[in-house]
């Protein structure tokens, strides 16, 4: 069966004007996501992950580049189409507590997106009850308030809100980063079950490569606003090509007993995203940087089948035939 691409980003950019200059929060992002799969987006804090998620959802306007959704360019849409897209594309936030109205009960919170979608009366009450069951919230919690619940249950409310209007696509922005490790797996399993049952497509953002590995079909590694590597999850872990990805991977614990890995510690200066120079943004921290890395920006190239990397030295350091 032919693969159906649900979402594509082509050279997507988002710049913010700041007092110190132009801040390149998202600066040339490329990916495609197949329907029903998960693209994991990893990178350290401040590299532009949340901005990317918001631009894709039209919560922020892009500066340049294209967003293609179901084969159509949705970079610029009118108000009517935007309203439709608001139902089809949803977001789950990192901190459920900050994103939930403290004065509303669980049922009221879940009711909101349904009401906005024009679902009222008995039908709405029925849907709220169904949604609570779907996300694993006991019916008796319906009249509780967010502060009376633990982090895991609060995030279940966030999930219920996101899926209330049957979206096709959900941005999960660090949805488990604020949760206890013991609860993280429950929420990840819930997201995976929902994907299987409803054919949902996810853009799953995390600073933690081990979380992303578990549920992503593909992974995109970001560094200072840019795609530095993008591949199937398996190939990324088996053959990480970018020195930054290699450093990230060296910090992921190895599951096998007795197996040791040399951890690569990143030293050197993190360059500012404000008015960045046209060169490799990772060069100052890179073990392999040469003059060419400082002379111009690297291009994203397919160095293995379906495996893209933006690094001047990728061929040399990975012994890829030239």
Ligand X SMILES: Nc1ncnc2c1ncn2[C@@H]1O[C@H](COP(=O)(O)OP(=O)(O)O)[C@@H](O)[C@H]1O
Decide if residue 25 touches ligand X (CB under 6 A).
Answer: yes
Minimum distance from residue 55 beta carbon to ligand X (Å): 9
- Window of 17-25, 99-107, 246-254, 296-304 that interacts with ligand X by CB under 6 A: 17-25
Minimum distance from residue 310 beta carbon to ligand X (Å): 17
Decide if residue 50 touches ligand X (CB under 6 A).
Answer: yes
Locate 96 and state its tokens. Answer: 């459920």
> Is-contact 76 239, C-beta < 8 A?
no
Decide if residue 50 touches Mg ion (CB under 5 A).
Answer: yes
Q: How far is CA 73 from CA 8, 49, 56, 81, in A?
A: 9, 22, 12, 12
Give the span between the Cα atoms of 137 and 130, in whole angstroms.
10
Sequence-ordered list of residues with C-beta below 8 angstroms from that of 43, at least 6 positions apart, any chain: 49, 207, 221, 222, 223
Helix 106-116 with 151-163: angle, nearest 10 deg: 20
Q: Is the torsion defined by CA of 142, 147, 148, 153 positive or negative? A: positive
- Window of 42-50, 148-156, 180-188, 210-218 that interacts with ligand X by CB under 6 A: 42-50
Q: For ligand X, which residue of 12, 38, 40, 49 counts as binding (CB under 6 A)? A: 49
Q: For ligand X, which residue of 1, 19, 20, 45 counts as binding (CB under 6 A)? A: 45
Give the per-residue contact string, 238-277, with ligand X (x = CB under 6 A; - = no): -----------------------------------x----
Partner that binds at residue 16, options Mg ion, ligand X, none, CB closer than 5 to 8 Å by kind: ligand X
* Strand-strand pairing, 226-232 and 64-69: unpaired
Q: Which residues bind ligand X (CB under 6 A)?
A: 16, 18, 23, 25, 43, 45-51, 273
């Amino acid at each position: 069966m032919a693969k159906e691409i649900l979402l594509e980003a082509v050279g997507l950019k988002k710049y913010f004007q700041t007092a110190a200059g132009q801040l390149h929060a998202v600066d040339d992002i490329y990916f495609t996501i197949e329907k029903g799969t998960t693209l994991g987006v990893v990178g350290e804090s401040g590299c532009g992950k949340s901005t990317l998620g918001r631009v894709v959802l039209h919560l922020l306007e892009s500066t340049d580049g294209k967003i293609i959704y179901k084969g159509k360019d949705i970079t610029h849409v009118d108000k009517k189409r935007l309203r439709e897209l608001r139902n089809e594309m949803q977001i789950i936030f990192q901190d459920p507590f900050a994103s939930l109205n403290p004065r509303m009960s669980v049922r009221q919170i879940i009711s909101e997106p349904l009401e906005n979608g024009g679902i009222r009366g008995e039908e709405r009450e029925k849907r709220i009850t169904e949604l609570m069951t779907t996300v694993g919230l006991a019916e008796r919690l319906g009249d509780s308030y967010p502060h009376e619940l633990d982090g895991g249950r609060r995030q279940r409310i966030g999930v219920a809100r996101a899926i209330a209007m049957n979206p096709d696509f959900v941005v999960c922005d660090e949805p488990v980063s604020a949760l206890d490790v013991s609860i993280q797996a429950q929420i990840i399993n819930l997201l995976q079950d929902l994907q299987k049952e409803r054919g949902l497509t996810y853009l799953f953002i995390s600073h933690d490569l081990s979380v992303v590995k578990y549920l992503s079909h593909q992974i995109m590694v970001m560094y200072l606003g840019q795609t530095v590597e993008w591949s199937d999850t398996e190939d990324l872990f088996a053959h990480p090509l970018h020195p930054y990805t290699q450093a990230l991977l060296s910090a992921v614990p190895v599951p096998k007993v007795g197996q040791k890995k040399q951890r690569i510690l990143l030293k050197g200066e993190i360059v500012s995203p404000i008015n960045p120079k046209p060169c490799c943004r990772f060069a100052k921290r890179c073990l392999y940087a040469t003059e060419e890395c400082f002379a111009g920006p690297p291009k994203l190239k397919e160095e293995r089948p379906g495996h893209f990397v933006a690094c001047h030295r990728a061929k040399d350091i990975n012994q890829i035939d030239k």
